[in-house]
Amino acid sequence: MKVLIAALLLFSLNAQAEKMKDFTLPIHQKSEKFHLQEEVKKKKVLLNFWATWCTSCIHELPKLEALKEKYSDSVTFVSVNAGEKDNLIERFQRKYKFSYTMLKDEDRSFSKGLGVDSLPVTIVVDKDMNIIYRDVVPPTSL
C-alpha cells in the first residue's frame, strides 16, 4: 500500500499540465481578432465551445454567466461558435442574452485541432498557456 501511495505521489509530481497552442480567431461581428497569447498576459482565459442547436450549451449558460459575474476581474470569458451563420448566432445572443466575447471557428478546424468533437466543452488556460481545466461542464470555481 505504501508503495502504491508513493508511486501515485511521484506520478502526480511529474505530471505536466497540457499546453495550449497559441491561436488567433476572428471576433464575431468585429474587424478585430482575438489572440490568446495577448489575452493570457492579462488574465486567465475561459473558452466555451458551443452551438445554437446544442441543448446542453443552452442549459449551462446561466452557470457561465454566474461565473463571469464572480470572476470577471481575473478571467476573460470567450465563447467559440462551431461555424454557424451570423443570423443564427445573433438570434441566439438576443434570446439568451449572454455577454462575453464570441469567436468564430468558421470551418471548425480550431475546435477539431483541440479534439473538441462534441459540445459543449469548456477549457481554462492560465498565464503560462497551461490548460488548467477541460470538461463538458463549466468549472465550479476559477
Residue pLDDT tens, the chain, 142 long: 544 444 444 444 445 679 999 999 999 888 999 999 999 999 999 999 999 999 999 999 999 999 999 999 999 999 999 889 999 999 998 998 877 899 999 999 999 999 999 999 999 999 999 999 999 999 998 8
CB of 77 closer than 8 Å to CB of 101: yes
Give the C-alpha separation, 1 to 122, whole Å: 36
pLDDT at 100: 84
pTM more than 0.75? yes
CATH numbers and ranges of domains, the chain: 18-135 (3.40.30.10)
Q: Nearest 5 degrees, angle CA 38-CA 43-CA 48? A: 90
pLDDT at 47: 97
pLDDT at 16: 60
Give the C-alpha separation, 101 to 120, whole Å: 16
Q: Which amino acid is at 10?
A: L
CB of 131 closer than 8 Å to CB of 18: yes
CB-based contacts of 142, cutoff 8 Å, min separation 6: 44, 46, 67, 70, 71, 74, 75, 124
Taking residue 114's Cβ as centre, other Cβ atoms within 10 Å add up to 19
